[in-house]
Amino acid sequence: MGTVISSKQPVGICGIGRIGKLLVWLLSAKKAQSEIVIATGRKTGKSIEDLATYFAYDSTYGAYSRFIAGFDHDRAVEIKNDSLYLNGVKLVWLNDPKHRTPGGIPWSEHGVEVVFDTTGKMLDPTVNDANSLRGHLNHAKKVVLTAPFKVKNKGVSMPDDTVTVVGGVNFSKYDASKHAIISNASCTTNCCAPPIKALVDHFGDRFVSYSLTTVHAATNSQSVLDVLPKDGDKDTRKRRSSFNTMIPTSTGAANAVVEVIPEIRSLGIGSQASSLRVPTTTGSIVILDVSLIGEYDNAYIHDIFKKYAEKNPDILRYSDEQLVSADIVGSTYSSIYDSEFTHHRTSKRGDRYYTMVDLNFWYDNEFGYVCSLWRLYGLLTGLR
């Protein structure tokens, strides 16, 4: 297993859905590499022009050339000698059916060292076959999963070469000589773990418990209109129309936050998480209710996040504007603290004060998350 990753080498991306496509947008805008290697394992549309159109426009973010400010608009997406270029960065396309299996993708032949698996289909790092996340390591040095790990066989322990890291929380856990399969956790975890970490560090054992709800934009894991659930579907509400319904769903955020902030367990802080999908294309909010021992007002709480944002300026933005979800589309932050929306209430039991605080953190679950992948890529390559 190699440990030194070059930021100049082409990046590999498996799966070009919402996260994969926006990652291509971001990487091509940064221009750190001259090539991006993309594995779809299937043909796309009728011609390379269809691919060019897919990358040139986006129903949520608009035109690539307009989104990435300062571009020469005519030349942002080009076809030259049957190859596609975004901002001058060449996209190498692996669309043969044999490239559908991670172990069969010849990443190293294209100079790829780091692969982002954005398929959402291979989440279990304990599985060791060609058609798994680990399969990418047949021909690459590192694989980044753009989701939390999901281990099917609960009796199997996590391999030593895996780690879950979140920017602004536990990047120091990453050991280049040891870790080859790295989960960037979920967008929700990237939003709520930084402020929870700030609270844990500040309050310690005065932090009694928290409950979070993410009000989350729709994703492609849902249905456009009602469909018949598949055999064995657990979350059948995801088969209901995402157009016109609020849909309660499960979220792994409670476990993932504890994994990246182990003090939550050691301090015995209670935690809970739930999720509600709403009909927006992107733009989500975490409503975080915390219970603290002691008496605190809003100004005291604001100060914690002001200081955290000063220390982690690319992760958390402190806002005193009256935001709505449309305002955060295209945000590069993992989390935006909506200070205007903070409420607190203090009660007294015996001679002890307790304060409940209601906090709100916005996130662009798509582009904001892709920016967190860029920060993780910086961790792997030393590129900042």
With CB under 6 A as the contact rule, which of the stretches 46-54, 287-295, 347-355, 363-371 interacts with ligand NAP? 363-371
In whole angstroms, how close is the CB of 101 to ligand NAP at the nearest point?
7
Report the residue number, 113 or 117, with the smaller CB distance to ligand NAP.
Answer: 117
| Closest CA relative to residue 63, chosen from 93, 87, 95, 90 | 87
Q: For residue 117, which amino acid is it?
A: D
Please report, to the nearest 10 degrees, the dihedral formed by the alpha carbons of residues 116, 121, 126, 129 taken in order.
Answer: -90
Q: Is 15 in the site for ligand NAP (CB under 6 A)?
A: yes
In whole angstroms, how close is the CB of 310 to ligand NAP at the nearest point?
26
Footprint of ligand NAP on residues 135-194 (CB under 6 A)? 146-147, 186-187
With CB under 6 A as the contact rule, which of the stretches 12-20, 194-202, 299-307, 324-332 interacts with ligand NAP? 12-20
The residue from 16, 257, 261, 269 that contacts ligand NAP (CB under 6 A) is: 16
DSSP 35: E
The residue from 9, 33, 65, 119 that contacts ligand NAP (CB under 6 A) is: 119
Q: Is 287 in the site for ligand NAP (CB under 6 A)?
A: no
Q: Is 330 in the site for ligand NAP (CB under 6 A)?
A: no
With CB under 6 A as the contact rule, which of the stretches 38-46, 66-74, 149-157, 322-330 interacts with ligand NAP? 38-46
In whole angstroms, how close is the CB of 17 to ligand NAP at the nearest point?
2
CA distance 104 to 302: 51
Catalytic residue status for 187? yes
Report the residue number, 218 or 269, with the smaller CB distance to ligand NAP.
Answer: 218
Q: Is 196 in the site for ligand NAP (CB under 6 A)?
A: no
* Helices first, then strands: H and E counts in the chain: 8, 19
Phi, psi of 276 (to 5 degrees): -135, 120
Q: Is the dihedral of CA 363, 364, 369, 372 positive or negative?
A: negative
Query: Using an 8 Å Cβ cutoff, are 291 and 312 in contact?
Result: no
Report the residue number, 129 or 297, with the smaller CB distance to ligand NAP.
Answer: 129
The residue from 13, 19, 68, 290 that contacts ligand NAP (CB under 6 A) is: 19
- Name every residue whose Cβ is closer than 8 Å to that of residue 205 and which is 6 or more positions away in sequence: 267, 268
For the chain, how big is the Rg over CA atoms in Å? 21
Report the residue number, 139 or 207, with the smaller CB distance to ligand NAP.
Answer: 139
Q: What angle is formed at CA 73 by the lines to CA 72 and CA 77, rounded to 5 degrees?
A: 100
Q: For residue 346, which amino acid is it?
A: T
Which ranges of 35-97 does DSSP label H, i.e. alpha helix? Answer: 48-56, 64-67
> How, if at all, do strands 35-39 and 343-349 pair?
unpaired
Phi, psi of 212 (to 5 degrees): -125, 145
The residue from 9, 33, 40, 331 that contacts ligand NAP (CB under 6 A) is: 40
Binding site for ligand NAP (CB under 6 A): 14-20, 39-42, 100, 118-121, 146-147, 186-187, 219-220, 365-366, 369
What is the set of active-site residues? 187
